[in-house]
Structure formats: C-alpha cells, structure tokens
Structure 1
Amino acid sequence: MNILAQIKQQIIDNPIILYMKGTITNPQCGYSDKTAKIILTYHVKCTYINILDNDNLRKFLPKYADWPTFPQLWVNNKLIGGYDIISNLHMNNKLFNILHKNIHDI
C-alpha cells in the first residue's frame, strides 16, 4: 500500500486521530504535547500516531492534508487543524461537540 493510501485508510479507520511528534507518554514537540493533553481531557477514544516513526508519513501527510505543520487532528475524516485551532476550539467550548458529533463507541 502506498503512503497516501495508508494515510487515507488510517483516517477512515479512526474516527478521532492525532498525528503528532512523539507519543502520549513521550511527546517530542510542545504543540503536540499541548494538543494531546487537551484531547485527553475529553475522555474520547483517540488514535495517536507518532509521525517521527515514519519519514514518508511526515513528508506526505502535509501534502495530503494541505496543512504544513504538526500536530494534525482529524475527526470523522475531516482535518480540524493544529494546536492553535484546537486550543481556540477548546477555550470557546466548541471542541466537545466536534469530538462527540457522530462518534460512536467512544
């Protein structure tokens, strides 16, 4: 499977997915750490993917998403954005609805 097909499949298979630098227990970027911590406060099932483990993923996801930076939060096959957007949605009490809308089994 080529990398673009792999990315598409990951996004389809995971209702909430965060592409981040590092892992939940060992973030490698302040923005990834802050974004993951925000998502954790909502107690939703989220898949966290360390883009530092895969050079092709790190290279091609920004092209696939038309979004140049990490982290990237995807919900229901739609790119929500990076830390600035997630933080803003969180502070304005809008992230809850985004994370829970049409999400089942979380």
Structure 2
Amino acid sequence: MDIIETIKEQIASNNILLYMKGSPSVPQCGFSAKASKVLMACGEKFAYVDILQNPEIRANLPKYANWPTFPQLWVGGNLVGGSDIIADMFENGELQEMIKTAVAAKADA
C-alpha cells in the first residue's frame, strides 16, 4: 500500500489520532508529551502513531497535511493542529467539545 494511502486509512479509521514522537506513556519530545497529556485529560480513548518508528509517515505526513511539524492531532478526519494549538483549545474548552462531538458522531454512525 502506498504511504499516503496508509496515512489516509489511519486517519479514516481512528476518530481521534495523534501522530507523535514516542508513545503517550513514553513521549520522546516535550511537544508530544504536552499533546498526549492534554488528550488524556479529555478522557476519551485515542489512537497514536509513533513517527519515530514509522520514518515513511514522518517524511510524508507533513506534505499530506500541509503541516510541517509534529505532533499532529486529527479529530474526525480533520487536522486540528500541534501541541500549542490543542493546549490553547483545551484551556478554553474547545478541544473537549470537539472530541465529545466527534465521539458522539462516531457512535451514531
């Protein structure tokens, strides 16, 4: 399977998906640690892809997403942004609402 197709499939099959360095329990950079901590605080399950273990995804996702950095949070098939954006959204309640809506939409589907 082509790497872009793999990325599309990952995004389509995971309602809440974080592309990060490392894992939520062992993040490999401060930005990934911040992003996964914020997501865990939202209280919903989420999938992640460790881009350090997937160099092809690391190389191609920025082109596909038109977003140059990691981590990248995808909710309901849409790119939300990186750690600073999701932290700001969490602080003002937007992220929790977005995730709640995405989880509810997936449950109704």
Deviates more, 1:57-66 or 1:96-105: 96-105
* Number of residue equivalences: 105
Query: Does structure 1 residue 42 correspond to structure 2 residue 42?
Result: yes
State, as a whole percentage, how many aligned pairs show the same letter: 46
TM-score between both structures, scaled by the size of structure 2? 0.93
TM-score (norm 1): 0.95
Structure whose residues are more often helix by fraction = 2
Partner of 2:76: 76
RMSD: 0.9
Letter matched to residue 2 of structure 1 = D
Aligned to 1:3: 3
Q: Structure 1: which 4+ aligned runs deviate by more than 3 Å?
A: none
Structure 1 residues not aligned, in runs of 5+: none
| Mapping of residues 1-106 of structure 1, within 5 Å | 1-103=1-103, 104-105=106-107
Q: Which letter does structure 2 place at the counterpart of 1:47?
A: A
Superposed displacement of residue 66, structure 1 = 0.2
Amino acid at match of 2:91: M
